[in-house]
Amino acid sequence: MRPGLFFAFFTLLVPLAVVLALVVPVPGDFQRRAGGMKSEPVRTPVCYRLSYEPADAGRWLPRWVRLTDISARGYSRPGRLGFGVISGDHFQSGRWRVAGADSMDIQWYDSPILRLPTHGDTLVGRGGWDYFPSLFDELASHGFSVRAVRTGCAARSREPACPRSWHDGRTADLSMVLCIPPGFKRSAGTEGVAWWARGRITSREHAWLRIDVEAPPFDADRWPPHLASGPECGADCATADSVVEHLDTLAGIAVHVETGLVSGGFPGFRRQPALAAGWIIPTGARVWVQGLAPHGATLDTLRTALRSLMLRVP
CATH number at residue 208: 2.60.120.1690
What pLDDT is attached to residue 188?
59
- 96 and 142 assigned to the same domain: yes
Is 12 among the domain residues?
Answer: no
Domain stops at, among 92, 123, 151:
151
What pTM value is reported for the model?
0.56
- 287 and 211 assigned to the same domain: yes
- Give the domain range for residue 209: 167-311
Is 55 among the domain residues?
Answer: yes
Q: What is the C-alpha separation between 149 and 51, in angstroms, rounded?
A: 9
Pair type for strands 238-250 and 253-264: antiparallel
Average pLDDT estimate for 10-38: 54
- 121 and 34 assigned to the same domain: yes
What pLDDT is attached to residue 83?
78
- 136 and 66 assigned to the same domain: yes
- 300 and 234 assigned to the same domain: yes
- 131 and 185 assigned to the same domain: no
Is 161 among the domain residues?
Answer: no
What pLDDT is attached to residue 264?
83
Is 280 among the domain residues?
Answer: yes
Q: What is the C-alpha separation between 19 and 115, in angstroms, rounded?
A: 32
The amino acid sitting at 126 is R
- 182 and 139 assigned to the same domain: no
- 90 and 184 assigned to the same domain: no
- 136 and 174 assigned to the same domain: no
Domain stops at, among 107, 122, 151:
151
Domain stops at, among 101, 117, 151:
151
- 303 and 177 assigned to the same domain: yes
Q: Is the pLDDT of residue 34 over 60?
A: no
Q: 119 near 102, Cβ under 8 Å?
A: yes
48-82 pLDDT, tens digit per residue, is: 989 999 888 877 788 888 887 776 665 656 656 77
256-299 pLDDT, tens digit per residue, is: 999 999 988 776 678 899 999 999 887 777 888 999 999 999 99
Is 157 among the domain residues?
Answer: no
Q: How far is CA 96 from CA 70, 146, 213, 284, in A?
A: 10, 15, 22, 24
200-234 pLDDT, tens digit per residue, is: 888 889 999 999 887 766 766 778 889 988 877 76
Average pLDDT estimate for 86-100: 69
Count of domains for the chain: 2
- 238 and 189 assigned to the same domain: yes
Is 239 among the domain residues?
Answer: yes
Pair type for strands 26-27 and 131-132: antiparallel
- Residue 118's pLDDT band (boundaries 50, 70, 90)? confident
What pLDDT is attached to residue 259?
95
- 215 and 96 assigned to the same domain: no
Is 68 among the domain residues?
Answer: yes
Pair type for strands 131-132 and 95-98: unpaired
Q: What is the C-alpha separation between 119 and 148, in angstroms, rounded?
A: 11
Is 7 among the domain residues?
Answer: no
